[in-house]
Structure 1
Amino acid sequence: MRLRAKMNKKKKEINKKLHCYCNSYDDTTILETFARNHEL
C-alpha cells in the first residue's frame, strides 16, 4: 500500500513537470523525452 502511494506521488510530480512542456508536442513524444532526460 505504501509503495502504491509512493508511485502515485511520483506520477503526480511527473505530470506536474510534463505540464510545463510546450503543448505542441503530442503526449508520447513528451513522455519519451521526459523519460530520457530524467532516466525514469
Structure 2
Amino acid sequence: MSQSKIGRKTFAFRQRLEFNIIISQKDSRLKALDNIFP
C-alpha cells in the first residue's frame, strides 16, 4: 500500500468521525429542545 493511499484513508476516516460528532451534537441539542417543548 502506498503512503498517499493510507493518508487518504485516514483523512476520510477522520472527516467522517468529525461529521458524526457534529451530527450527534445536533442530535443531543434537538433532544434538549424536545425536553423544553414537550
Place the TM-score, normalised by the shorter chain, in its bin: 0.5 to 0.7
Q: What RMSD in Å do the two structures reach over aligned CA positions? A: 1.0
Paired position in structure 2 for 1:10: 22
Where structure 2 has 5 or more consecutive residues not aligned to the other structure, the ranges are 1-12
Structure (1/2) with the larger helix percentage? 2
Count of residues in correspondence between the two structures: 23
In terms of Rg, which structure is larger? 2
**Taking structure 2 as the reference length, what is the TM-score of the superposition?**
0.53
Where structure 1 has 5 or more consecutive residues not aligned to the other structure, the ranges are 24-40
Q: State the percentage of identical aligned residues.
A: 17
